[in-house]
Chain A
Amino acid sequence: ELKVEQNPLFLSMQEGKNYTIYCNYSTTSDRLYWYRQDPGKSLESLFVLLSNGAVKQEGRLMASLDTKARLSTLHITAAVHDLSATYFCAVDRGATNKLIFGTGTLLAVQP
């Protein structure tokens, strides 16, 4: 059974600081997704990583994928309050591409 784990589950950080969220998954997959969710809202797609070594950046967020280690990272550079949200990684599974989500990381950026 595919399991997707994130750490940390909760991250409180100060504005201007850097930090990394880790996403580990238990079985082989070449595709990894990162989503952002504000409280009570929908899932906003941040990154789609399609191959080993893929790296994507958007603003203060950068995501990477190492399929051999079954690990993806979401790096936050110089955090700002607007980045406060819950971040989920997800792996698609099987021919139908259903998503298996990680446990989520609640990020709180303090002024």
Chain B
Amino acid sequence: AAGVIQSPRHLIKEKRETATLKCYPIPRHDTVYWYQQGPGQDPQFLISFYEKMQSDKGSIPDRFSAQQFSDYHSELNMSSLELGDSALYFCASSFGTSPYEQYFGPGTRLTVT
């Protein structure tokens, strides 16, 4: 069965650079969530989209922005990168906003040097 696809899987950037992370949800899934997991920490919710509209927002820095496109894929744009942005970034998808299960992608490991 098709799963959530994230690209790239690994990304190395320098401080103050920008990065774009992409997420392709499971076919027919219309909701995308982004989570950030720092080293040794639990995943933290960043932002979510339902039917291409932002549906919720968590602890996402103003330097980050995201959107969901007409084909339901989503991109997380990160600017003015800081060392503390180094983390695993997960995308999850689900069908509808009351589905009771989110399917997680493999994650993008971002390293900021």
Contacts and interface: CB of A to CB of B under 8 A. Distances in A.
A48 B98 CA distance: 13
B72 interface: no
A101 B42 contact: yes
B42 A48 contact: no
B106 A104 contact: no
B90 A42 contact: yes
Nearest to A103: B42
Interface stretch (B19-27, B48-56, B63-71, B74-82): B48-56
B90 A95 contact: no
Contacts of B102: 97, 99
B86 interface: no
Interface residues of A, number: 24
Nearest to B54: A96
B8 interface: no
B106 A41 contact: yes
Given A43-B90, A101-B43, A102-B42, A48 B100 contact: yes
A94 interface: yes
Interface string B8-21: 00000000000000
A42 B56 contact: no
Contacts of A33: 101
B97 A42 contact: no
Given A42-B90, A42-B105, A48-B100, A96 B43 contact: no
B84 interface: no
B90 A98 contact: no
Given A96-B97, A97-B102, 10 more contacts: A40-B88, A43-B43, A45-B101, A50-B100, A97-B98, A98-B33, A98-B58, A99-B35, A99-B92, A100-B45
Interface of A: 31, 33, 35, 40-45, 48, 50, 88, 92, 94-104
